[in-house]
Amino acid sequence: MKDSGNTFFLLRHGQTDFNVRGLIAALIEESSNNPPHLNEVGENQARDAAESLANESIDFIYSSPFKRTVQTASIVSERVGIETKVDNRLREVEAGTLAGWTIADWEKYFEGKNTLTEGPPGGESLNDVRERAAEFLNDVNGGHNGKNILVVSHGDTLWMMQSILLGIEGEEILKTPYIENGEIKKFVVRAL
């Protein structure tokens, strides 16, 4: 990734009832009549994030197209006065046949498997997610210099994006901290 001097702010969407219930909210839920949306806690998390970002001189906001991320980005957008651009590469990990499962069942399914290289049936591996996150980062980073860029996305997508920004490869990726609902992580792009 080129040394651009850009600063990336990674923001995970605010809490939804799926998060509270420990369910995998993937593409199948997003295409339903009532996709996961922010609950009251999630709306407060988004407002808190907006306040935290108000003095950061955000130049661009990019969001996943999913309802919960668009809602989060909209709350920040309104506060900082920057329009949100939706990018499909920021979408949630495709959970395939495991969509709607509990996180505990997901973890049990993947016990002894390499989640970097193996995805659920009909879904994506973490390396698949990392590949599209890298494409997004390279495109956006390559198009700007010295800008403050907010990315509103999902846990796994931001987890993989964070590993790229930190220059972490292989199994070490799985040891990097996961980004929680409403949490913001800040990275300045310098040559790795």
Specify the CATH number for the domain of residue 171: 3.40.50.1240
Listing DSSP states for 51-120 in one string gives: HHHTTS---EEEE-SSHHHHHHHHHHHHHHT--EEE-GGGSPP--GGGTT-BHHHHHHHTTTS-TTT---
Residue 27 token pair: 């593409």
Residue 60 covered by a domain: yes
Burial-class residue 79 by CB neighbours within 10 Å (0-12, 13-18, 19+). middle
Q: What is the pLDDT of residues 131-182, one digit of tens each?
A: 999 999 999 999 999 999 999 999 999 999 999 999 999 999 999 999 999 9
Determine the pLDDT at residue 192.
41
DSSP code for 34: S
Residue 171 domain-assigned (yes or no): yes
Residue 33's pLDDT band (boundaries 50, 70, 90)? low
- Residue whose C-alpha is closest to residue 124's, from 161, 87, 153, 99: 99
What count of Cα atoms within 13 Å lies in the side-chain half-sphere of residue 120? 19
Calculate the average pLDDT of the chain. 92
The answer to whether position 45 is within a domain reads: yes
Closest listed residue to residue 106, CA positions, set 66, 68, 118, 160:
118
- The answer to whether residue 124 is domain-embedded is yes
Question: What is the pLDDT, as a whole number, of residue 3?
Answer: 80
Give the per-residue pLDDT at 36: 78
Question: What range defines the domain where residue 12 resides?
Answer: 7-188
User: Comparing C-alpha atoms, which of 95, 93, 91, 101 is closest to residue 121?
Assistant: 95
Helix 40-53 / helix 67-80 crossing angle, nearest 10 deg: 40
Does 1 reside within a domain?
Answer: no
On whether residue 166 sits in a domain, the answer given is yes
Domain count across the chain: 1
